[in-house]
Amino acid sequence: MSRAFGRGERVQWDVLRRHSDYQGLWVALNAVRYDSGIPLEGELVDVDEDLAVLCARIQSAEDTACAILFCEDKSSTARGAVRSG
């Protein structure tokens, strides 16, 4: 499935989490910039509806410094920010 943002593309977290292509999905971001613990932007690495599958792909690709975040509705903030690696 083609998504709005491509792998390696730098994207703002607010834009990504509100986009309909990513609602209800886990996203892996690299080189994340934070403000007071809230993600602001990062490079899109991968996306999946299944957290375990996403983590397995990230681990096998050796992209182990990713932040993994869940895209909820526009009123939410980052949930389940997990740092792999």
User: What is the domain range of residue 48?
Assistant: 10-83
**DSSP category for residue 63:** -
The model's pLDDT over 13-72, given as tens digits with 9 standing for 90+, comes to 999 999 999 999 999 999 999 999 999 999 999 999 999 999 999 999 876 789 999 998
Q: What is the mean pLDDT of residues 80-85?
A: 52
Model confidence at 85: pLDDT above 80? no
Instruction: Judge whether 21 lies within some domain.
Output: yes
* Residue 20 CB contacts under 8 Å (≥ 6 apart), including other chains: none
Q: How many structural domains is the chain composed of?
A: 1
Instruction: Judge whether 54 lies within some domain.
Output: yes
Q: How far is CA 68 from CA 4, 49, in A?
A: 18, 12
Q: Residues in the chain, how many? A: 85
Name the band, by pLDDT with cuts 50, 70 and 90, for residue 83.
low
Instruction: Judge whether 1 lies within some domain.
Output: no
pLDDT for position 57: 93
Instruction: Judge whether 4 lies within some domain.
Output: no
Instruction: Judge whether 59 lies within some domain.
Output: yes
Instruction: Judge whether 2 lies within some domain.
Output: no
